[in-house]
């Protein structure tokens, strides 16, 4: 808001226009990541959360069943001239760990690349593959460091890691741009995150006992419900880990179509 005060009625020496800029109490507190507002808020972090949830326009869902963990997301190719297989939100970190990332695409790629480096470095130093919970904690620590310095910025991305733990079996962890990391039975990220979480909460007790096919279909159903649309196999990305020795792998379009047909048959029954 700009308030203009005229001094035309004053002496000629005092005749001037005084422009006073009235700004909100929290003004200028969003210029640096390391400055708190009087209300204790970090505005740059709030902007980062907003970018992580909406920048890609995608929604991702992760569900952990009895012996498997699944991630599902939309597949949108922004340009018809692009090779479709080059556009993906799913990444293999190690043989047993995969990642679903949503947010600013360049930040997602940087986060995935760092996760691969951390996993490879861990395996080199200690002689065994990095457990998924250790990777999630390490990536969360790195993300939190980015919130402490004015010369850095947080990466606008939410990452969901699924993997197989040698002792606990399939696991699912979510790491956000502020450095929070927590294990989940089911979670979501992206544009329709809250709607997806509401859908999953209603089915939590059932999901814990799902086999691999039920887990895949529940994740697809969740995504279809919150987006209000029916999918084709080419419009989805699905990846999973299954069993204690399971490898992270993505399903083909034909395999996704089989699950979509099964969901449609169950709905008609």
Tens-place pLDDT, residues 141-151: 999 998 887 77
Query: Nearest-5° angle of CA 180, CA 185, CA 190?
Result: 55
Say if residue 11's pLDDT is above 80.
Answer: no
Whole-number pLDDT of residue 12: 46
Chain segment 127-174, per-residue pLDDT in tens = 999 999 999 999 999 999 988 877 788 899 999 999 988 888 899 999
> pTM for the complete prediction?
0.85
For residue 64, report the phi and psi dihedrals to the nearest 5 degrees: -110, 120
Mean pLDDT of 260-264: 90
Distance CA 186, CA 87 (A): 25
Residue 121 pLDDT more than 90?
A: yes
Tell me the two tokens of residue 80: 């018809």
d(CA 15, CA 20): 16
The radius of gyration of the chain's CA atoms, rounded to the nearest angstrom, is 23
What average pLDDT does the chain have? 85
Task: Kindly report each contact of residues 34-41 with a partner whose C-beta sits within 8 Å and lies 24 or more positions away, as own/partner.
Answer: 34/147, 34/148, 34/149, 34/150, 35/150
Of 219, 181, 175, the residue nearest 199 (C-alpha): 219
Residue-wise pLDDT for 32-90, tens only, equals 777 788 888 888 888 888 998 888 889 999 999 999 999 999 998 888 888 888 889 99
């Amino acid at each position: 808001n700009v308030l203009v005060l005229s001094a035309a009625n004053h002496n000629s020496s005092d005749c001037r226009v005084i422009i006073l800029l009235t700004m909100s109490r929290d003004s200028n507190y969003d210029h640096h990541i390391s400055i708190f507002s009087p209300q204790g808020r970090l505005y740059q972090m709030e902007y980062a959360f907003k970018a992580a949830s909406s920048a890609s326009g995608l929604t991702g869902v992760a569900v952990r069943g009895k012996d498997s963990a699944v991630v599902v997301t939309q597949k949108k190719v922004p340009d018809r001239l692009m090779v479709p297989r080059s556009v993906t939100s799913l990444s293999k970190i190690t043989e047993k760990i995969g990642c679903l990332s949503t947010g600013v695409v360049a930040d997602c790629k940087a986060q995935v690349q760092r996760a691969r480096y951390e996993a490879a470095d861990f395996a080199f130093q200690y002689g065994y593959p990095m457990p998924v919970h250790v990777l999630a904690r390490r990536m969360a620590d790195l993300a939190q460091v980015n919130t402490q310095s004015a010369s850095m910025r947080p990466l606008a991305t939410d990452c969901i890691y699924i993997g197989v733990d040698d002792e606990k079996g399939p696991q699912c962890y979510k790491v956000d741009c502020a450095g929070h990391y927590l294990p989940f039975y089911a979670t979501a990220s992206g544009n329709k995150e809250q709607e997806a979480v509401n859908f999953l909460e209603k089915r939590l007790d059932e999901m814990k006992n799902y086999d691999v096919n039920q887990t895949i279909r529940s994740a697809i159903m969740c995504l279809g419900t919150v987006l209000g649309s029916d999918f084709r196999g080419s419009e989805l990305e699905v990846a999973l880990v299954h069993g204690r020795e399971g490898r992270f792998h993505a399903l083909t379009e034909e395999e996704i179509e089989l699950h979509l047909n099964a969901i449609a048959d169950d709905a008609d029954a």
